[in-house]
Chain A
């Protein structure tokens, strides 16, 4: 069996206690496998934005969207997988870098446009943003030096160009914050 393709959903949700639990519970209950999930604030008070990456074929993706809409606290959902989009993860990597290795590590980081954000006697903490591929690429290069710790955010994504359907739907339904232009 082929691995189902990864789908990226953007969902606007009410910023209320338990909303994340409702979403996670829905995915578990319907047997949809979450690859990555990120929640954060938006420019509109009381509204959070989620980016959810899921393994799903077209049909499953449509059902995920329909099921998300059934949650009362979900304001709008959009499957942005096929739209031109910007997808980013952020990772912090603590790598073993004694003084004699430090400049070599820093040079390699430069190739990946990663930045050193902390230097210790034997360590460097490197920050990288980009697609999952890019992060894995840097990680592979740093592996021989000794990766001591790593932390990664969930994926965040946004469509390119004009306002997305999901964001536009919030503008239509929200009476707060955004006045009609």
Chain B
């Protein structure tokens, strides 16, 4: 090991010793080389004291850097990049506050199993533990919200740590990995050569294989079922297993219900697609789950938003759980058969052995349940001149030909998007499911756009969540990242308002929220802004936004007190849903649909 170079104004020149292939590099230079070797093309970050050596070495690399306005944005951009592309997203931040600002984004990636690597600067190793300026114990802070994390204090450990981080983040059940690198490790110069050999981690076994007997048992359970239902979860999207799921459905004729993160994993327009399940799932889906005699759960984890009351959940169904993570088996719902492993590999082994399941009566029964919902669906009502979020999202779907890459925030609009934007392809809906992180949409969409520059990327956000990370508009402007932004603006923190209406006696405490003038806000950033107050204006606005070269905000002024239906109250039985009042009761005083207050 060469003597460390600590003079940041005079970084050593790269020199190659031809005899060995070794180069003399600083730890900072090694960071970028190791990231390039992992195939990284873009990172999202923000400089600061403890990461300055790395930033100083950045111009020597081919990697593009996107300067965010808050590190939370960097983590969400890395997350959106990863969800859209299936590759690992990278965020970079300094120590202390830079690192802690990443925390929400890391926790979000953890809950949704998204592969991101966060590279953070740390105070020099000699100062660790001294409460130095901008020191936080970041591996300590992120221990419960990362798949793994590493503290690196020597230049020679940087490359192996980054290799490990990428391998752990992307293999098995993916997740976030933090690599915290001290400033002295970044400044130290060593003889370096990239080691392309595979990562060896004796305690890490991401791959599992189901036993042949278990596969046989699964086939028998499937063929014996009379009222079967398949669950398509996020695992189908993650494993790129959509075509195998289609094959399974074509062979067996079993209908498919989807989780929020599974949407797009099975085409919404397929005749066997039922739609979303759970708290705001379609009523016929939840009813069917409660009546089913077999659930084949593919890559999902029986989240409480999916099951409602566990004691009364799917009481008649045998359950087959196809799952990558053994710790998920029997965590929430006791299952009859667990197939451990990659869902794609398991489907590949399962599909050749299954045959058509005679469940025509069952499918007809589920179809018959849809009629009651259709009469309540406001999107089918004639245009009354009022603008409902359902109209906006349905029309957005129509005028983007269902092909947009949509990134939602969290709240009512998120559920309306799930209900009304029909996704036929995986990785075209990115949403914060597990953590429910408001502020996710804009930065995640920017990351998605970096991954998929030819996609028509749409942010759908509420007026509350959008304001949480709206500072990233400046990043859109500076970095020329083009996304379209539909703000479903109802002047409330709508989902909380809805709960206040249903469960807290209508006391709207701290939920009315004021917005800036979004048209002026867009203009202030050198971007475009539009306002829509009538359904008849939606189409032109959507088309204008798509045609604009720069990021465009559309401020959709929607009904202020509309609610998301159906709704299974938290912890209630899945079949006990609050339904949208039928249109004929529209004039009743308790009707939750009110006219938009015109605040122009």
What is A's interface to B at a CB cutoff of 8 Å?
13-14, 17-18, 21-22, 25, 29, 59, 62-63, 66-67, 69-76, 173-174
**B204 interface contact, C-beta 8 A:** yes
Contact A174 B139 (CB under 8 A): no
6 residue pairs from A and B, CB less than 8 Å apart: A13-B203, A14-B203, A29-B144, A59-B330, A70-B327, A72-B203
Give the distance to chain A from B424, nearest Cβ to Cβ, in Å.
34
Give the distance to chain B from A19, nearest Cβ to Cβ, in Å.
10
Question: How far, in whole Å, are A62 and B335 apart by their CA atoms in the complex?
Answer: 14
Question: How far, in whole Å, are A47 and B330 apart by their CA atoms in the complex?
Answer: 31
* Smallest Cβ-Cβ distance to A74: which chain B residue: B203
**B202 interface contact, C-beta 8 A:** yes
Question: How far, in whole Å, are A174 and B203 apart by their CA atoms in the complex?
Answer: 10
A21-B140, A25-B144, A29-B144 known; A75-B327 Cβ under 8 A: no
A14-B203, A72-B203 known; A66-B327 Cβ under 8 A: yes
A22-B143, A70-B325 known; A62-B203 Cβ under 8 A: no
Interface size grouping (class) on chain B: 10 to 19
Contact A72 B201 (CB under 8 A): yes
Question: How far, in whole Å, are A63 and B147 apart by their CA atoms in the complex?
Answer: 17
Question: How far, in whole Å, are A59 and B327 apart by their CA atoms in the complex?
Answer: 11
Give the distance to chain A from B324, nearest Cβ to Cβ, in Å.
11
Contact A63 B203 (CB under 8 A): no
A18-B139, A29-B144, A72-B168 known; A66-B326 Cβ under 8 A: yes
Q: Which residues of A contact B201 (CB under 8 A)?
A: 72
Contact B143 A174 (CB under 8 A): no
Question: How far, in whole Å, are A76 and B205 apart by their CA atoms in the complex?
Answer: 10
* Smallest Cβ-Cβ distance to B202: which chain A residue: A173
Q: Mark B130-141, 1 if CB is under 8 A from A, else 0.
A: 000000000110
**B329 interface contact, C-beta 8 A:** yes
Q: Which residues of A contact B331 (CB under 8 A)?
A: 63
**B148 interface contact, C-beta 8 A:** yes
Contact B204 A67 (CB under 8 A): no
Q: Considering the complex, which residues of chain B in the window 454-509 have a beta carbon less than 8 Å from any beta carbon of chain A?
A: none
Question: How far, in whole Å, are A181 and B44 apart by their CA atoms in the complex?
Answer: 51
* Smallest Cβ-Cβ distance to B175: which chain A residue: A70
Give the distance to chain A from B330, nearest Cβ to Cβ, in Å.
6
Give the distance to chain B from A171, nearest Cβ to Cβ, in Å.
11
What is B's interface to A at a CB cutoff of 8 Å?
139-140, 143-144, 147-148, 151, 168, 201-205, 325-327, 329-331
* Smallest Cβ-Cβ distance to B145: which chain A residue: A29
Q: Which residues of B contact A21 (CB under 8 A)?
A: 140, 143
User: Contacts A66-B325, A69-B205 given; 19 further ones with Cβ under 8 A?
Assistant: A13-B203, A22-B143, A25-B143, A25-B144, A66-B326, A66-B327, A69-B326, A69-B327, A71-B203, A72-B147, A72-B168, A72-B201, A72-B203, A73-B203, A74-B203, A75-B202, A76-B203, A173-B202, A174-B202
Question: How far, in whole Å, are A18 and B201 apart by their CA atoms in the complex?
Answer: 17
* Smallest Cβ-Cβ distance to B139: which chain A residue: A18
Q: Which residues of B contact A14 (CB under 8 A)?
A: 202-203
Compute the total of residue contacts between A and B using a CB distance below 8 Å: 45
Question: How far, in whole Å, are A63 and B204 apart by their CA atoms in the complex?
Answer: 17
Contact A62 B330 (CB under 8 A): yes
Q: Which residues of B contact A76 (CB under 8 A)?
A: 203
Q: Which residues of B contact A63 (CB under 8 A)?
A: 327, 330-331
Q: Which residues of A contact B168 (CB under 8 A)?
A: 72
Q: Which residues of B contact A173 (CB under 8 A)?
A: 202-203
Which of the listed residues A29, A72, A75 has the most CB atoms from chain B within 10 Å of its own CB?
Answer: A72
Contact B204 A72 (CB under 8 A): yes
Contact B330 A75 (CB under 8 A): no
* Smallest Cβ-Cβ distance to B334: which chain A residue: A59
Give the distance to chain B from A170, nearest Cβ to Cβ, in Å.
8
Question: How far, in whole Å, are A22 and B140 apart by their CA atoms in the complex?
Answer: 9
Question: How far, in whole Å, are A105 and B326 apart by their CA atoms in the complex?
Answer: 52
Give the distance to chain B from A70, nearest Cβ to Cβ, in Å.
6
Question: How far, in whole Å, are A59 and B334 apart by their CA atoms in the complex?
Answer: 10
Give 9 nearest A-B pairs by CB, closest first.
A66-B327, A66-B326, A173-B202, A75-B203, A72-B148, A67-B327, A72-B204, A29-B144, A74-B203
Question: How far, in whole Å, are A145 and B541 apart by their CA atoms in the complex?
Answer: 89
Give the distance to chain A from B151, nearest Cβ to Cβ, in Å.
8
Q: Which residues of A contact B325 (CB under 8 A)?
A: 66, 70
Contact A66 B144 (CB under 8 A): no
Question: How far, in whole Å, are A45 and B139 apart by their CA atoms in the complex?
Answer: 25
Question: How far, in whole Å, are A176 and B271 apart by their CA atoms in the complex?
Answer: 57
Which of the listed residues A29, A69, A70, A73 has the most CB atoms from chain B within 10 Å of its own CB?
Answer: A70
Give the distance to chain B from A115, nearest Cβ to Cβ, in Å.
39
Give the distance to chain A from B60, nearest Cβ to Cβ, in Å.
31
* Smallest Cβ-Cβ distance to A173: which chain B residue: B202
Question: How far, in whole Å, are A29 and B145 apart by their CA atoms in the complex?
Answer: 10
Question: How far, in whole Å, are A25 and B168 apart by their CA atoms in the complex?
Answer: 19
Question: How far, in whole Å, are A174 and B201 apart by their CA atoms in the complex?
Answer: 10
Question: How far, in whole Å, are A173 and B144 apart by their CA atoms in the complex?
Answer: 27
* Smallest Cβ-Cβ distance to B204: which chain A residue: A72
* Smallest Cβ-Cβ distance to A62: which chain B residue: B330
Q: Which residues of B contact A59 (CB under 8 A)?
A: 330
Question: How far, in whole Å, are A21 and B39 apart by their CA atoms in the complex?
Answer: 33
Q: Which residues of A contact B147 (CB under 8 A)?
A: 70, 72
Give the distance to chain B from A49, nearest Cβ to Cβ, in Å.
13
Q: Which residues of A contact B139 (CB under 8 A)?
A: 18
Give the distance to chain A from B311, nearest Cβ to Cβ, in Å.
16
Q: Which residues of A contact B330 (CB under 8 A)?
A: 59, 62-63
Question: How far, in whole Å, are A75 and B202 apart by their CA atoms in the complex?
Answer: 6
Q: Which residues of B contact A71 (CB under 8 A)?
A: 203
Give the distance to chain A from B550, nearest Cβ to Cβ, in Å.
44
Q: Which residues of A contact B151 (CB under 8 A)?
A: 17-18
* Smallest Cβ-Cβ distance to B200: which chain A residue: A175
* Smallest Cβ-Cβ distance to A29: which chain B residue: B144
Give the distance to chain B from A26, nearest Cβ to Cβ, in Å.
8
Q: Which residues of B contact A13 (CB under 8 A)?
A: 203
Q: Which residues of A contact B204 (CB under 8 A)?
A: 72
Q: Which residues of B contact A67 (CB under 8 A)?
A: 327
Give the distance to chain A from B181, nearest Cβ to Cβ, in Å.
16
Give the distance to chain B from A10, nearest Cβ to Cβ, in Å.
14
* Smallest Cβ-Cβ distance to A176: which chain B residue: B202
Question: How far, in whole Å, are A74 and B203 apart by their CA atoms in the complex?
Answer: 5
Q: Which residues of A contact B144 (CB under 8 A)?
A: 25, 29
Q: Which residues of A contact B202 (CB under 8 A)?
A: 14, 75, 173-174
Q: Which residues of B contact A72 (CB under 8 A)?
A: 147-148, 168, 201, 203-204
